Amino acid sequence: MSRGLAPHSWQLVTPIALTGISAIFLRVQSVKQAWWLGWGFGAAYFAFGLSWIVEPFQVDAELYGWMAPFALVLLSGGLALFWGAAFALAQRFSAGNWRLLALIGFWSVMEFLRAYALTGFPWAALAQLGVGPWTFSVLPWLGPQGFAMLKLVMFVPLALLRLRRVWPAAPLVAYLVAIYAALEPLPEDHAVAYTKHSVRLVQPNAPQDEKWDPDKRWDFVRRQVEYSASEPAPDLIVWPETAVPQLLNDAAATLGVISQAANGVPILLGIQREEAGEYFNSAVLLDAQGQPNQIYDKVHLVPFGEYMPFPDLVARLGIYGLASRAGTGYTAGPSQEILPSPVGRFLPLICYEGVFPHDINTRAERPDFLVLVTNDAWFGTYSGPQQHLIQAQMRAAEQGLPMVRVANTGVSAMIDPYGRIVPGGSIPLGQAGYLDVDLPAPLAATFYSKTGDLPWFLLSLVMVLVPALRQRKKQLLNTVG
């Protein structure tokens, strides 16, 4: 089923895999068997789908390379625990074909937990399978959790389609056809409204093993300065995450040179900073004089990357966060906030923060657009960056907001409020360059942006309770009888 994830995005693997595993589930005889079925299915899916997780450990292979296989095994096996629990609970608290409804409910609940529990990790969620125009049509209404539930509702019951039960399943087939027919197609690209503002995307293409090399790191800065100085000038220039290889505290001269080269055009760039002994992964908006008049500190940090759980203990073992340049890790910023800019009010996101739709959905105010600055060089050159890009497109579609996405090694792109990369609006993976793109206008607030995940979580609980109560009632009647 992992072939449904980017960069493959095969459409048919999702219905085939969900139908097949559900048919096998109907044949299991015990909670233990159901557990191993769900866990094994999940472990295989996550192991292949998240194989890019070994890439960060190869950047400094001498120090961290030994961790790579453990990371893949522990991550895929750990995430599979949620799916194993879903199958086991569905087997335990339902009976007969009602187990399929229970499976949909428990699977949905577990996907909610995977997205929210601890720090959450909704990567490779069911909504990210086979992403295409249909995905971007549904997300503004259902969000990723509701869309994942819809897929389960559509395909899990197909396990009942056996030859002797074709006619009872006919209403289900009609229901699926009606869903597809009811979807409103996305408008043509030329129908998207644009603002009068131009944004320059700057992609230096700095490999992670060279990004902090003292002999090479300033070459990438000079490259970005050269791109920023090109005429005609845009209204805003955006550099990627940690684009300047020094602390903000010591970068006044550097930032002045950058702004002077850009002829005073405001620049949003990623940089690290220190305050009271704590270090932050930040994005700053420079004014015409190179002064940071807006600073955003990343809130949702990467565990084991930007910070380490139990930092004192792991520091004694000589283990530090992979992306941290300061001790045992960064400190999280106080909150996500909407910032003003010359082209409108925007919500800044730094790398990992673009993975969490529910974080973006908690804003009381509505920005004009989203900005995601990232360093996807950590993810290698194959599936990781492509999957991260897809999630950025999903965030734009969910909110009905355009997104400016700038990545160190790509893919940098201007994404319209329907989740599509605008025509000619991207710099390919692994290339250095810059691109001036008109900023699309936002749409009206979407249904999902108003409701969030709560309606679909409550519906998943109903799907859990109905078969469980039915089974309980049947057991009581048998006991009385």
Rounded CA gap, 401 and 440, in Å?
Answer: 8
Beta carbons within 8 Å of 29's beta carbon, 6+ residues apart: none
Rounded CA gap, 326 and 324, in Å?
Answer: 6
Q: Pick the catalytic residue: 151, 306, 351, 398?
A: 351
Q: Is 351 a catalytic residue?
A: yes
- Count CA atoms within 13 Å of residue 458 on its CB side: 4
Amino acid at the residue 52: W
Q: Helix count (H) and strand count (E) of the chain?
A: 16, 11
Which of 416, 356, 388 lies closest to 143 in space, CA to CA? 356
Rounded CA gap, 122 and 356, in Å?
Answer: 7
Amino acid at the residue 481: G
Q: Is 436 helix (H, G, I), strand (E, B) or coil?
A: strand
Q: Pick the catalytic residue: 55, 111, 151, 298?
A: 298
Q: Does residue 200 contact residue 227 with C-beta atoms inside 8 Å?
A: yes
Q: Does residue 170 contact residue 373 with C-beta atoms inside 8 Å?
A: no
Rounded CA gap, 32 and 36, in Å?
Answer: 6
Neighbouring C-beta atoms of residue 20, cutoff 10 Å: 15
Pairing of strands 412-415, 421-427: antiparallel
DSSP line for 382-445: THHHHHHHHHHHHHHHHHT--EEEEESSS-EEEE-TTSPEEEEEEE-TT--EEEEEEEEPP-SP
Rounded CA gap, 146 and 263, in Å?
Answer: 46
Q: Pick the catalytic residue: 241, 306, 353, 398?
A: 241
Q: Does residue 201 contact residue 434 with C-beta atoms inside 8 Å?
A: yes
Q: Is 216 a catalytic residue?
A: no
Buried b (16+ CB within 10 A) or exposed e, 147-166: bbbbbbbbbbbbbbeeeeee
Q: Is 241 a catalytic residue?
A: yes
- Residues classed as catalytic: 241, 298, 351
